[in-house]
Chain A
Amino acid sequence: MPIPIEDLWSLVPEFWLAALGLLLVLLDLFLPGDRKRLVGWAAVVGLLLVLMPILGMLGTPARTVFFNTYAVDGFAVFFKIIAVVATILVILSTMDALRGHTSFEGEMYVLLTFAALGVCLMAASADLILLALSIEFVSLSSYVMAGYFKSDLRSNEAGIKYFLFGAASSAVMIYGFSILYGLTGETNLYAIADRVRTAPQPALVLAVGMALAGLGFKVSMVPFHQWTPDVYEGAPTPVAAFLAVASKAAGFAALVRFLMVAIEPGPVDWVAPIAGLSAVSMTLGNLLALPQRNIKRMLAYSSISHAGFLLMGVAAHRGDFGAPGLLIYLLAYTFTNLGAFFVAIAVGGRLGSDEIPSYAGLAQRSAGLAAVMALFMLSLTGIPPTGGFLGKFYIFGAAVNNGLLWLAVVAVINSVVALYYYVNVIRVMYLLPAPSGGSASGPVPLRLALGVAALGTLVIGIFPQPFVTLVGAAAMLLRM
């Protein structure tokens, strides 16, 4: 069977990203050691250009290409936008963070570009084979990036821990996929959806549970969350930002497509377990975040609790609020969390410390940095007029709408608990005196990334209408 030429056209973004990655490898090879930053700028330009074909696909009708293995729909396009924007911002923030830690600067930009390609593939895979392959693609790039500082003991440890947890959980996931294949005789998600109704329930529960191990690892859902704080703390901070945002978004894209397309018609009730895991994730993440002194560990536990909030959107998928709520929460979370990590990069780079007490008096040292950090902390809590509020509003609405009132109550209590440790950062920055003088503002690319993240956080909160339209279109096209 020949592949229709239109199918190839709809893969332009993926081809472009792959070509960009290979081009960057060559560029890195020929540039002298002190000019490696050019590789980063080339990556930024290439990624900005790839946004054009991606945005061009926004209005096109949903379809699948390559013998139904690859979905081209608004849902995939939405996650591709998140992946590319997040990668651009992470690359901008990387440019300063690597100096002095490693002599291999160019390869980081290459790995980030390939990881972005992996995220795009994950969001669009409609076949178990492609799904397993793309999840591993993202994971393998991330393992290397987590252990990137070869002479830094913490980075070594982060790399090994991430690898062992990740490889084990993806092995469990692939075993689950193999059982699912045995039950339905198909690997295509849409074909599985047709056959899954007649599958025996206990075996299907086992298969779905095992698949959730791999996907839950990527989104740091609670029983599979142990790696998160250690890896975020040990890995280079821009990599932690990438894992917290792009990799988690990709995990949710795969999780939602897998559950809602393939498993939804079957005899397995997955809503109740997901709702339970959501409540446990947000509570455990919040409680463990309370005593943290290291900003990266605090953000790691906060990212576990945000995974819980996002899972609430997955559980409350019926009706008009669930899927759009999940997407808008992810969009706001992308900008906000990236911004918080960028502030950590700026402060860590100037003061050489990630401890929250060393943020004391940041408002006097660098008023701008402190102001945007305060904005990000408020948005992570979910206080208007920030993007975080809009996301929480939608997701809580969806939970109530779906009859998950108990979950909404747990989530509200958790938001109040979270206020404590987020506002603590603001208190330290504004109310405590600075131990010593000296400014703490970052270099130009980092400030650019911070500005975009702050702008995104605010604009989603103040002018939500275009974003609501966008996620509405993205969520509608999910089921074909």
Chain B
Amino acid sequence: MALGLTHFLVVSALLFCLGLYGVLTRRNAVAILMGIELMLNAANINLVAFNKYVAPAALNGQVFTLVVITLAACEVGVGLALVMAAYRNLETVQVDRINMLKW
């Protein structure tokens, strides 16, 4: 059986759902961040697969993937810095305990 576009799309959809599940259920800010990374990587698999199977004439999908990888790295940098700053004051990274502001 040849490897087709569908295989890539199924893997990417599973990865995306896994990431979304992590984002919605985890209470640890770092674990949520990991879920977000999974979602971005799912998009990357999509982009590269579509580039190969749907629009092989141009490299748009590959370039988009490189941009998304860079964005993910920047996001982790800023995100971990914010988590660190909060950890110094609140001594926790559990988001359900960072709950001063509500209603």
Contacts and interface: CB of A to CB of B under 8 A. Distances in A.
Interface of A: 128-129, 132-133, 136, 140, 143-144, 147, 150-151, 153-154, 156-161, 163-164, 167-168, 171-172, 174-175, 177-179, 181-182, 185-187, 229-230, 233-234
Contacts of B47: 178, 181
B90 A172 contact: no
| Leading 7 A-B pairs by shortest Cβ distance | A185-B55, A182-B50, A178-B46, A171-B39, A156-B86, A230-B101, A175-B43
Nearest to B61: A181
Given A153-B90, A168-B35, A168-B36, 6 more contacts: A147-B85, A159-B85, A167-B79, A181-B50, A182-B49, A185-B50
Interface in B43-81: 43-44, 46-47, 49-50, 54-55, 60-61, 63-64, 67-68, 71, 74-75, 78-79, 81
28 contacts: A140-B78, A143-B79, A153-B90, A154-B101, A156-B86, A157-B90, A157-B100, A158-B101, A160-B82, A161-B101, A167-B75, A168-B35, A168-B39, A172-B20, A172-B39, A174-B40, A174-B43, A177-B43, A177-B64, A178-B43, A178-B46, A181-B47, A182-B46, A182-B50, A185-B55, A186-B60, A187-B60, A234-B100
A163 B89 contact: no
B75 A160 contact: no
Contacts of B86: 147, 156-157, 159-160
Contact of A171 (B36, B50, B85): B36
A121 B44 CA distance: 23
* B9, B43, B79, B95: most-surrounded residue (chain A CB, <10 A): B43
Given A156-B90, A159-B82, A182-B50, A140 B75 contact: yes
A129 B32 contact: no
Interface string B20-42: 10010000010011011001101
A171 B37 CA distance: 8
Contacts of B33: 164, 167
B90 A133 contact: no
B89 A151 contact: yes
Given A136-B75, A175-B42, A230-B101, A160 B50 contact: no
> Interface extent on B, as a size class?
35 or more
Contacts of B63: 129
Nearest to B32: A164
A182 B63 CA distance: 14
A174 B78 CA distance: 19
A177 B67 CA distance: 13
Nearest to A141: B78
A182 B88 CA distance: 44
Nearest to A176: B43
Given A168-B39, A171-B36, A187-B60, A163 B79 contact: yes
B100 A128 contact: no
A269 B67 CA distance: 31
B98 interface: yes
Name the residue among A136, A140, A147, A164 with the largest chain B CB count within 10 angstroms. A164
Given A160-B98, A178-B50, A181-B50, A143 B82 contact: yes
A175 B79 contact: no
B83 interface: yes
Contacts of B20: 172
Contact of A181 (B60, B75, B85): B60
Given A157-B86, A175-B16, A186-B55, A143 B46 contact: no
A279 to B, nearest CB: 23
Contact of B89 (A128, A153, A185): A153
Contacts of A158: 101
